[in-house]
Amino acid sequence: MNLKDQKGTITCKAAICWEPDKPLTVEEIQVEPPSVSEVRVKMLCASICHSDIIALQGFPLALYPRVVGHEGFGVIESVGEGVEGLKEGDTIIPAVIGECKECPNCKTGKTNMCYKFPLNFTGLMLDQTTRMSIKGQKIYHMFTCSTFSEYTVLNSNLVVKVNQAIDPWHASFLSCGFSTGFGAVWKEAKIEQGSSVAIFGLGGVGVGAVAGARSLKAGRIIGIDLNEYKKSKAEFFGLTDFINPNKLNGKSIADKVREMTDGLGVDYSFECTGVESLLNEALDATKTGSGVTVFTGAVVQKHVPILYWTLMAGKTIKGCLMGGVRPHSDLPQLCTKCINKEFDLDGMLTHQVDLNEINHAFELLKQPECLKVVVNMG
């Protein structure tokens, strides 16, 4: 049972990372009431994105102890002063970036890179303090989300209200990975009907890119993954062709893509693994003169060599966060598409665990027959 003291602080369970490469410990922590412009949320479920794995390893900052997790679905338990448009009982998903609608970037609507609510790597809330602690010791947040806790505090701009009709785990998948891939195709590349696309990596993000490509009526959707199981999962979302790089007998992936596209390469490629060596492969796989590559993968190296001559051949590279999806202007549209079954996110769910089994969830992700793990928060 979760206890709320006289000051409104809640004692509840959360998965804590104390140091890299060590199992998480599920322990009781204290979660303060929401401060100005914040909401406190009872998490109903959460899911794991690859970015959680690299955050646990200390990328880009080694912040411990920490509660990670940034995909999830929950219900607002209380609201802080000055919160508008959200109330107790609303069902929400967290967003890793906000949308103030007033800064130069929000005003143009061309990008989701809000100046006021950028991706927050500090592990702190916007006032540079934390809302979580254990025995008096502060606990760092992740992107001010920290969904692997029964209760969490979020800035109200970094929250998207969703229709209660949505399935909890569908909503959770939409809060990062799937939307990132879908958005990369929809908002960043803005592909034309009939385009050919190559998607490197068919995990949560890659499958979202496949669904985005099908939704925009791509002609050919080629997926590249070392794991054959991902082929069938991605086919459910619209994949038309599959390449296993381990079965190319020394040929490069880009050569294989050209072979499949009359020697030309694809119109668009999407890097969704975060594997450094695949960045140039994704660039190389596109058409000379017009190819566009969107990087979504989080490569941990700060500097990455790019084959300059591929750019001289008239190609374009773009990077993005959340696939260019604006949390308030675009994400609700994806939620509506999901409720209307324009894509069925049941096709992503392979495993469910309880919060107490969180380490098992991370182990499952290393298994070949795993695409997405949902953590039930009880």
Binding site for ligand NAD (CB under 6 A): 49-51, 54, 176-177, 180, 201-206, 224-227, 230, 245, 272-275, 278, 296-298, 320-322
Per rule CB under 5 A, is residue 321 in the interface with Zn ion?
Answer: no
Contact partner at residue 206 from ligand NAD, Zn ion, none, CB < 5 to 8 Å by partner kind: ligand NAD
CB of 96 to Zn ion, least distance (A): 7
User: Residue 230 or residue 315: which is nearer to ligand NAD going by CB?
Assistant: 230
Helices assigned H by DSSP within 41-160: 50-56, 104-108
Q: Residue 202, Cα to own-chain centre: how many angstroms? A: 13
Residue from 30, 47, 51, 146 that binds Zn ion (CB under 5 A)? 51
Distance CA 151, CA 293 (A): 39
Per rule CB under 5 A, is residue 78 in the interface with Zn ion?
Answer: no
Distance CA 148, CA 220 (A): 38
User: Residue 76 or residue 176: which is nearer to ligand NAD going by CB?
Assistant: 176
Distance CA 279, CA 28 (A): 42
The first and second tokens of residue 191, run together, are 């592909």
User: Residue 36 or residue 61: which is nearer to ligand NAD going by CB?
Assistant: 61
- Orientation angle between helical segments 204-215 and 229-237, nearest 10 degrees: 30
How many beta carbons lie within 10 A of that of residue 44, not counting itself?
Answer: 18
Contact partner at residue 230 from Zn ion, ligand NAD, none, CB < 5 to 8 Å by partner kind: ligand NAD
Contact partner at residue 205 from ligand NAD, Zn ion, none, CB < 5 to 8 Å by partner kind: ligand NAD
Q: Which stretch binds Zn ion (CB under 5 A): 21-29, 48-56, 127-135, 214-222?
A: 48-56
Q: Is the dihedral of CA 137, 143, 147, 151 positive or negative?
A: positive
User: Residue 217 or residue 360: which is nearer to ligand NAD going by CB?
Assistant: 360
Q: Which of 213, 215, 219, 214 is nearest to 196 (CA)?
A: 219
User: Residue 116 or residue 161: which is nearer to Zn ion going by CB?
Assistant: 116
Q: Are 12 and 133 in contact (CB under 8 A)?
A: no
CB of 78 to ligand NAD, least distance (A): 29
Residue number with the smallest Cβ distance to ligand NAD: 203
Distance CA 134, CA 40 (A): 17
User: Residue 30 or residue 269: which is nearer to ligand NAD going by CB?
Assistant: 269
Q: Which of 140, 145, 12 is nearest to 66 (CA)?
A: 140
Edge-to-edge strands of the sheet including 196-200?
Answer: 241-243, 220-224, 196-200, 268-271, 292-295, 316-319
Per rule CB under 5 A, is residue 365 in the interface with Zn ion?
Answer: no
Residue from 76, 93, 174, 176 that binds Zn ion (CB under 5 A)? 176
Q: Are 197 and 220 in contact (CB under 8 A)?
A: yes
CB of 350 to Zn ion, least distance (A): 17
The first and second tokens of residue 134, run together, are 């254990």
CB of 274 to Zn ion, least distance (A): 11
CB of 87 to ligand NAD, least distance (A): 29
What is the b/e burial string over 14-40, where b = at least 16 CB atoms within 10 angstroms of the residue's CB?
bbbbeeeeeebebeebbbbbbbebbbb
Per rule CB under 5 A, is residue 100 in the interface with Zn ion?
Answer: yes
CB of 184 to ligand NAD, least distance (A): 8
User: Residue 103 or residue 313: which is nearer to Zn ion going by CB?
Assistant: 103
CB of 20 to ligand NAD, least distance (A): 16
User: Residue 77 or residue 99: which is nearer to ligand NAD going by CB?
Assistant: 99
Residue 79 phi, psi (nearest 5): -120, 145
Enumerate residues 185-224 that contact Zn ion by CB under 5 A: none
Contact partner at residue 58 from Zn ion, ligand NAD, none, CB < 5 to 8 Å by partner kind: none
Write out the residues near Zn ion by the rule CB under 5 A.
Answer: 49, 51, 100, 103, 106, 114, 116, 176
